[in-house]
């Protein structure tokens, strides 16, 4: 726990908000609020790959300077995390012995650190996703999931692996809200978003935990272009087999395990399946995770210091590319561990 708290505090002390993903979010929100580009936005920064509806969340924060807005955004994420933990505790009490591990994971795991330091939207979306997971009604689950899909469209892939009533409700509500947005502001913001998304940076970064992220690292290496469309038919065949297998497991499984299949599929099958999506697994992790060698390995491969150590130790060896996919391996092993533990849960 102490290590996690220390790492989290040091992250916020050392981070430069101008070098994070949040800078791109801020620039988009500033443009929406004022109608003109942010004065500092000419510099190179990670583009905002979220849809125009996401900018509605960020725009009010742009009345603050970038640094203040960054910390305010993380405070909002912290509040969402706290109310999510409260909802999970009320549904399934969390034992006192688990809290030090939870705090440690929130400060040491790569998905959590990436969400905190980059100012990503994972913590903000955690509450609606948690309420959707806790819902006993498939329709209610879809209503909770709808704002998450509207703000983060890649989550639609996860939703489609859930019961029909859930994904249909989420899809109708989010599509209706998007249509209203288009009617009010027109199509240009959506065209600009699609142009940005198509020209997005490569997905071969180590924090991408998807199958296609692994594929681009191994096929194209670390230099030059790495277009997903240029992947070999073997990789696409493996993706197809994975999609059919995960879909079949989701279809034949009871509700709780269907959610596990959907959460995993939303990362593994999604080209933009970044590690920070794993923070949305918080509810299933707290309910099902049990001490085992598999859980231990998964946790290790998702711990930031270990991932950095693996990459450093293998940098001049043939295993370097393999070590850069250790995070993805950790996600796979975590999903398998939770799947096995769910069978033993009363």
- 237-292 residue pLDDT tens: 999 999 999 999 999 998 889 999 999 999 999 988 889 899 999 999 988 888 88
Q: Do residues 335 and 284 make contact, with C-beta atoms less than 8 angstroms apart?
A: no
What is the spatial distance between Cα 42 and Cα 45, in angstroms, rounded to a whole number?
9
pLDDT at 91: 85
Q: What is the DSSP letter of 180?
A: H
pLDDT digits (tens, 9 = 90+) for 185-239: 888 888 888 777 665 556 788 889 999 999 998 988 877 777 788 889 999 999 9
pLDDT at 201: 58
Q: Do residues 164 and 141 make contact, with C-beta atoms less than 8 angstroms apart?
A: no
Q: Please give the angle made by the CA atoms of 131, 47 and 301, to the nearest 5 degrees.
A: 60
Taking alpha carbons only, the member of 12, 70, 17 closest to residue 45 is 17
DSSP percent split of the chain into helix, strand, coil, nearest 5: 75, 0, 25
pLDDT digits (tens, 9 = 90+) for 52-69: 899 889 999 999 999 999
What is the spatial distance between Cα 216 and Cα 228, in angstroms, rounded to a whole number?
7
Long-range contacts from 174-180, C-beta under 8 angstroms, 24+ separation: 174/146, 174/147, 174/149, 174/150, 177/53, 177/146, 177/150, 178/51, 178/53, 178/150
What is the spatial distance between Cα 17 and Cα 74, in angstroms, rounded to a whole number?
11
Q: Is the dihedral of CA 107, 110, 114, 120 positive or negative?
A: negative
């Amino acid at each position: 726990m102490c290590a996690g708290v220390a790492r989290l505090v040091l992250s916020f002390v050392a981070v430069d908000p101008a070098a994070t993903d949040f800078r791109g979010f801020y620039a988009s929100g500033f443009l929406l609020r004022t109608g003109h580009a942010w004065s500092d936005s000419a510099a190179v920064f990670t583009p905002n790959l979220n849809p125009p509806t996401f900018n509605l969340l960020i725009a009010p924060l742009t009345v603050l300077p970038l640094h203040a807005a960054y910390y305010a955004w993380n405070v909002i994420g912290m509040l969402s995390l706290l109310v999510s933990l409260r909802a999970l505790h009320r549904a399934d009490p969390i034992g006192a012995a688990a809290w030090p591990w939870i705090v440690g994971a929130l400060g040491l795991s790569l998905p959590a650190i990436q969400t905190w330091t980059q100012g990503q939207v994972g913590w903000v979306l955690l509450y609606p996703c948690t309420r959707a997971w806790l819902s006993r009604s498939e329709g209610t689950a879809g209503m909770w999931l709808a704002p998450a899909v509207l703000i983060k469209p890649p989550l639609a892939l996860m939703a489609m692996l859930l019961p029909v009533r859930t994904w249909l409700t989420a899809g109708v509500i989010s599509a209706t809200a998007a249509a209203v947005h288009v009617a009010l502001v027109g199509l240009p913001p959506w065209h600009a978003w699609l142009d940005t998304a198509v020209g997005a940076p490569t997905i071969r970064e180590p924090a991408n935990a998807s199958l296609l992220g692994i594929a681009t690292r191994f096929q194209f290496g670390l230099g030059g272009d790495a277009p997903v469309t240029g992947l070999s038919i073997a990789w696409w065949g493996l993706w197809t087999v994975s999609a059919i297998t995960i879909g079949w497991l989701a279809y034949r499984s009871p509700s709780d395990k269907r959610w596990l299949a959907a959460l995993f599929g939303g990362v593994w099958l999604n080209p933009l399946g970044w590690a920070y999506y794993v923070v949305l697994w918080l509810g299933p992790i707290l309910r099902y995770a049990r001490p085992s060698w598999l859980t231990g390995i998964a946790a290790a491969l998702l711990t930031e210091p270990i991932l950095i150590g693996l990459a450093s130790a293998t940098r001049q060896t043939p295993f370097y590319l393999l070590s850069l996919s250790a995070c993805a391996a950790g996600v796979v092993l975590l999903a398998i561990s939770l799947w096995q533990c769910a069978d033993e849960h009363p």
